[in-house]
Amino acid sequence: MVSPSHFAAFAALVFVMVVVPGPSVLFTISRALTVGRRDALLTVLGNAAGVYTQVVAVAFGLGALVQTSAAVFTVIKLAGAAYLVYLGVQAVRHRRRLTDAFAASAPAGPGRVPAVLRDGFVVGFANPKSIVFLAAVLPQFVVPAAGRVPVQIMILGVCLPVIAVLSDSAWALVAGAARTWFARSPRRLELIGGTGGVVMIGLGAGLALTGRKD
């Protein structure tokens, strides 16, 4: 099974990768500014679930397929990019509703929570960069002689969503606090809502234009 030293080494590597601000952090901040702190935290949970689904997929061969197949890589990449652009466009279109939504401050209803979790899950699972990272790095920490390689990968992979939840939640809370300040002025809140949407569109466009490095 997984040795403590291998788990600690992989966790340290994941920590460095996660805490350095990147697309995931920008997505979380944008969500916090456009839909609020509560929904941003739900998005973080959905994103972590999507990333761990990647871990499971890598354990059972998807990672190797993505590394060797340009077509599979492109499909996953464009799906994630398109969804980010969609969320960004929605944020820009509905930016004038942010003031009313902030004033209401109602808990997310039963139908709202699954939708927010889904948004995070889709973006997390359709991120080809993390799939390639997992496919390239995870096997290096596995001990084939110990057997049950897929189980080893899934155990090692647990640290990725856990660290991501802690880091991204911190960013969501900070951005949510900033949103409270912007909410004091409807014009400021509308501006930040539109800006957050533009950031998500930019993230989607950047992801779509990112090529393979092989």
- Residues 100-140 have pLDDT tens digits of 544 444 445 556 788 889 988 988 888 766 777 787 777 77
Q: Which residue has the tokens 């049950």?
A: 148
Confidence of residue 213 (pLDDT cuts 50, 70, 90): very low
Q: Which is nearest to 99 in space by CA: 197, 180, 200?
A: 180
Contact call for residues 160 and 18 (beta carbons, < 8 A): yes
Higher pLDDT, 41 or 95: 41
Could you write out the DSSP letters of every residue in 110-174?
A: TTHHHHHHHHHHHHHHT-HHHHHHHHHHGGGG--GGGS-HHHHHHHHHTHHHHHHHHHHHHHHHH
Range 22-45 average pLDDT = 81
Q: What is the pLDDT of residue 37?
A: 84
Q: Is the pLDDT of residue 205 over 90?
A: no
Q: Which is nearest to 75 in space by CA: 208, 214, 213?
A: 208
What tokens were used for 150? 């897929």
Burial class (CB in 10 A: 0-12, 13-18, 19+), 175: buried
In the chain, % of residues over pLDDT 70: 71
> Which H/E stretch holds residue 8?
helix 4-19
Contact call for residues 181 and 36 (beta carbons, < 8 A): no
Cα gap 37→181, rounded to integer Å: 13
Query: What is the DSSP secondary structure assignment for residue 212, as one 8-state letter?
Result: P
Q: What is the pLDDT of residue 214?
A: 46
Q: What is the pLDDT of residue 183?
A: 60
Within a 10 A sphere around the Cβ of 103, how many other Cβ atoms? Answer: 10
Contact call for residues 26 and 162 (beta carbons, < 8 A): no
Q: Which residue has the tokens 């939504």?
A: 101
Residue count of the chain: 214
Q: Which residue has the tokens 């697309």?
A: 23
Q: Which is nearest to 4 in space by CA: 143, 135, 162?
A: 143
The helix/strand/coil state of 105 is coil
pTM for the model stands at: 0.69
